């Protein structure tokens, strides 16, 4: 198979970008060119991020917000400076940014805090509590991280879980939006961009309905913050969550952004050091957000690393990143359409769609597809992608998923299409 | 990794059926990939007379279950569990195992799988289900006799 001429020219100089990522210089499976197509799971890191973490440890390492020595001051400045950079990256105020371990913890923080509100001794805290008969709404395309915490919160409070369905093309079915988000709905939690289907969900439409019934809106931005410009004010939601490791940053850090007044009303999730105001033997009071939600020694080096990742992405330009991935996705969808027996699970065109592309190849199991690709140097994700109910919705067990980022180019897509052809030949379905 | 024998069993699996009658049925899932198997065994006088399995999974899990069925039917439960233990050890060897061909016969074809940690669970899915079902059947027959 020969490579096709891309329909559009890319917005990015990928050769230059690739040179910034040490891992992308290595080879795979006995000297083969590495084609990394699993950024939806986790991204690779540019040198500037690795250097920033190293520099922090080499020059400024100390416990943040504790002690009064010079290193402590420098570490605190680095940590709080990182918070400002990350806030700017999503159009937020730094005081509304809470650092967590990852997006999963950020979502759990919200769910547990709302659960703890039932025991709050303040009126504002109590106002957040859920009662039996209240409703939490999610969607059928959620990652387990944005489903199980809500199932558990329902179990603890007696609230009921309801969800928006997904149509055959992989878009949310909004025809029943007004019935599903009803007057008793207190929380609407949904993903900005599906990690399986690639679908970008219509935030404004869902937010408008949620506002009409005064429900809180939690937006899982794990797959959008790394790939498109985000502005929390424009989004109009109450919470935004994402993970550093999917956006060129280190593991061990996630972000919860919350609307100022909502964060202020919320009781803590994790408790301990760093989040207290005064402590007595039998009770304690807590500081204001964001520290109220950051119990324990803060993740300083990770915050510094994530800030460096935001700087890198900002220098490239998030609009360019989005444009580039859009071109790759269009090109990939065209290429995949040329393979007989291949079925894309998710929108077949790049309209309102990001660069996570899931598919089935005849009845070859996704594991087997993944293995053949891996032997040829292509790293893709196979399985249910932590979205088991979505798999069930499509009556399938697993898909193969290729996901793109700023360091992928058209030749990576060509390699994917060629290798899928090879997989078909190998398993004798050609 | 994909020996011809594996692909053969994948295309024409042995024992892929709903076994009737049976003494024990188990349902096992591989939570990392969602692969599932429902397996039934029939045991007469301590001998595995039949194994039947249904479900869906990758070529490795399908073929491994098929090879296992061929290998274990007709053996005593004790012999079958010895073969199972040998196969488990091979799978956990990270590519360094010396397969016992006399014991494992066609199942040695899966040696290569042990080099891929992510796939070992696939190869073991049917075997773990068999072990579970056989032990349940034996426990049940002991209970029935007492
Ligand atoms: C849409 C979505 N939500 C949530 C998560 C959870 O992220 P993490 O595992 O980093 O907490 C992921 C990542 O796998 C994701 O893709």
pLDDT in tens, A395-406: 998 999 999 999
Q: Which of B12, B32, B34, B124 to substitute to test the interface with A, most A CBs within 10 Å?
A: B34
| B 40-79 residues inside an 8 A Cβ radius of A | 56-60
Q: How far is A40 from chain B (nearest CA, A)?
A: 17
Q: What is the mean pLDDT of chain A?
A: 95
Q: Which residues of chain B have a CB within 8 Å of the CB of A366?
A: 33, 58
| For residue A98, pLDDT beyond 80 | yes
The phi, psi pair for A96, rounded to 5°, reads: -100, 5
Which pLDDT value is given to residue B34? 76
| For residue A9, pLDDT beyond 70 | no
Q: What is the pLDDT of residues A198-207, one digit of tens each?
A: 999 999 999 9
Which pLDDT value is given to residue A5? 57
User: Mean pLDDT throughout A96-118?
Assistant: 97
Q: How far is B88 from chain A (nearest CA, A)?
A: 21
Q: How far is B82 from chain A (nearest CA, A)?
A: 29
Q: What is the pLDDT of residues A151-204, one digit of tens each?
A: 999 999 999 999 999 999 999 999 999 999 999 999 999 999 999 999 999 999
Q: Which of A364, A388, A397 sits opposite B35 (nearest CB)?
A: A397
The residues facing A161 across adjacent strands are A136
CA atoms of A161 and A312, how far apart (whole Å): 40
CA atoms of A177 and A180, how far apart (whole Å): 5
Euclidean distance between the first and final Cα of chain B, in Å?
A: 47
- pLDDT confidence tier of residue A1, bands split at 50, 70 and 90: very low
Give the percent of chain A with pLDDT over 70. Answer: 97
Which pLDDT value is given to residue B88? 96
Token representation of residue A59? 């020059």
Structural contact between residues A6 and A410, judged by C-beta atoms closer than 8 angstroms = yes
Cβ separation A426–B2 shorter than 8 A: yes
| For residue A7, pLDDT beyond 60 | no
Quote the ligand 1 centre to A256 CA distance (angstroms). Answer: 13
**Which atom of ligand 1 is found nearest the CA of A191?**
1
| CA distances (Å), origin A243, targets A24, A100, A203, B11, B121 | 21, 9, 19, 42, 28
Structural contact between residues A275 and A268, judged by C-beta atoms closer than 8 angstroms = yes
Is any ligand 1 atom within 6 A of the Cβ of residue A406?
no
Active site residue ranges of A? 386
Low-confidence ranges of chain B (pLDDT < 70): none
Which pLDDT value is given to residue B32? 78
CA atoms of A58 and A231, how far apart (whole Å): 34
User: Mean pLDDT throughout A249-258?
Assistant: 98
Lowest-pLDDT choice from A32-41, A148-157, A335-344, B31-40: B31-40
- Could you tell me how far CA A159 lies from the centroid of its own chain? 26
| For residue A67, pLDDT beyond 80 | no
Quote the ligand 1 centre to A386 CA distance (angstroms). Answer: 8
Q: What is the pLDDT of residues A72-91, one digit of tens each?
A: 999 999 999 999 999 999 99
Say which residues have a Cβ less than 8 Å from residue B19's Cβ, sequence separation at least 6.
B40, B41, B42, B50, B51, B52
B29 part of contact set with chain A, CB < 8 Å: no
Cβ separation A365–B116 shorter than 8 A: no
Is any ligand 1 atom within 6 A of the Cβ of residue A39?
no
| For residue A6, pLDDT beyond 80 | no
Query: What is the rounded (10 degree) CA torsion for A92, A97, A102, A107?
Result: -90
Cβ separation B33–A391 shorter than 8 A: no
CA atoms of A128 and A61, how far apart (whole Å): 38
User: Mean pLDDT throughout A307-335?
Assistant: 97
Centre a 10 Å sphere on the Cβ of residue A131 and count the other Cβ atoms it contains: 11
CA atoms of B88 and A418, how far apart (whole Å): 36
The closest residue, in CA terms, to atom 9 on ligand 1 is A104
Task: Find the residue in B nearest to A366 (Cα).
Answer: B58
Structural contact between residues A135 and A178, judged by C-beta atoms closer than 8 angstroms = no
Token representation of residue A17? 């970008």
Q: What is the pLDDT of residues B4-24, one digit of tens each?
A: 899 999 989 999 999 999 999
The phi, psi pair for A60, rounded to 5°, reads: -125, 10
The sign of the CA dihedral A89, A93, A99, A100 is negative
């Amino acid at each position: 198979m020969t490579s096709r001429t891309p329909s559009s020219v890319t917005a990015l100089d990928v050769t230059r970008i690739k040179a910034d990522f040490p891992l992308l210089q290595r080879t795979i499976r006995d000297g083969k060119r590495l084609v990394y197509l699993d950024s939806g799971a986790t991204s690779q890191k540019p040198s500037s991020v690795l250097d920033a973490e190293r520099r922090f440890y080499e020059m400024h390492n100390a416990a943040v917000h504790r002690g009064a020595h010079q290193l402590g001051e420098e570490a605190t400045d680095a940590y709080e400076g990182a918070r400002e950079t990350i806030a700017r990256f999503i159009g937020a105020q730094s005081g509304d940014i809470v650092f967590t371990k990852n997006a999963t913890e950020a979502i759990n923080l919200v769910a547990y805090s709302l659960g703890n509100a039932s025991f709050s001794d303040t009126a504002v805290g109590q106002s957040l509590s859920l009662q039996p008969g209240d409703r939490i709404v999610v969607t059928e395309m959620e990652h387990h991280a944005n489903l199980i915490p809500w199932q558990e919160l329902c179990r603890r409070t007696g609230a009921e879980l309801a969800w928006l369905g997904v149509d055959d093309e992989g878009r949310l079915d909004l025809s029943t939006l007004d019935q599903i988000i009803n007057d008793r709905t207190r929380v609407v939690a949904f993903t900005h961009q599906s990690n399986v289907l690639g679908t970008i969900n219509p935030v404004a439409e869902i937010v408008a309905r949620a506002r009409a019934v005064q429900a809180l809106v939690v937006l899982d931005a794990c797959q959008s913050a790394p790939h498109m410009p985000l502005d929390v004010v424009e989004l109009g939601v109450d919470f935004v969550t994402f993970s550093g490791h999917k956006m060129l940053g280190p593991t061990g850090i996630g972000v919860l952004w919350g609307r100022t007044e909502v964060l202020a009303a919320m009781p803590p999730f994790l408790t301990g050091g760093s989040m207290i105001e005064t402590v007595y033997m039998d009770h304690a009071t807590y500081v204001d957000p964001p520290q109220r939600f950051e119990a324990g020694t803060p993740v300083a080096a990770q915050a510094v690393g994530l800030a460096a990742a935001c700087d890198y992405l900002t220098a490239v330009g998030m609009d360019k990143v989005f444009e580039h991935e859009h071109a790759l996705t269009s090109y990939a969808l065209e290429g995949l359409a040329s393979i007989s027996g291949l079925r894309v699970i998710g929108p077949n065109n790049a309209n309102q769609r990001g660069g996570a592309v899931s598919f089935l190849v005849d009845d070859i199991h996704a594991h087997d597809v993944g293995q053949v690709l891996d032997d040829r140097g292509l790293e893709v994700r196979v399985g249910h992608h932590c979205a088991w109910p979505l798999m069930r919705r499509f009556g399938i067990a697993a898909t193969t998923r290729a996901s793109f980022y700023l360091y992928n180019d058209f030749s990576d897509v060509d390699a994917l299409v060629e290798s899928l052809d090879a997989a078909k030949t190998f398993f004798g379905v050609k | 990794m994909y020996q011809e024998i594996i692909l053969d069993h994948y295309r024409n699996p042995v024992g892929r059926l709903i076994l009737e009658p049976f003494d024990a049925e188990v349902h096992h899932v591989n939570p990392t990939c969602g692969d599932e198997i429902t397996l039934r065994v029939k045991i007469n006088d301590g001998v595995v007379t039949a194994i039947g399995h249904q479900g869906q999974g990758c070529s490795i899990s399908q073929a491994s279950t098929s090879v296992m069925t061929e290998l274990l039917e007709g053996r005593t439960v004790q012999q079958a569990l010895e073969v199972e233990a040998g196969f488990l050890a091979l799978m956990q060897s990270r590519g360094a195992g010396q397969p016992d061909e006399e014991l494992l016969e066609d199942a040695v074809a899966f040696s290569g799988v042990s080099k891929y940690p992510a796939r070992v669970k696939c190869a073991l899915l049917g075997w773990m289900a068999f072990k579970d079902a056989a032990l349940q059947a034996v426990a049940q027959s002991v209970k029935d006799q007492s």
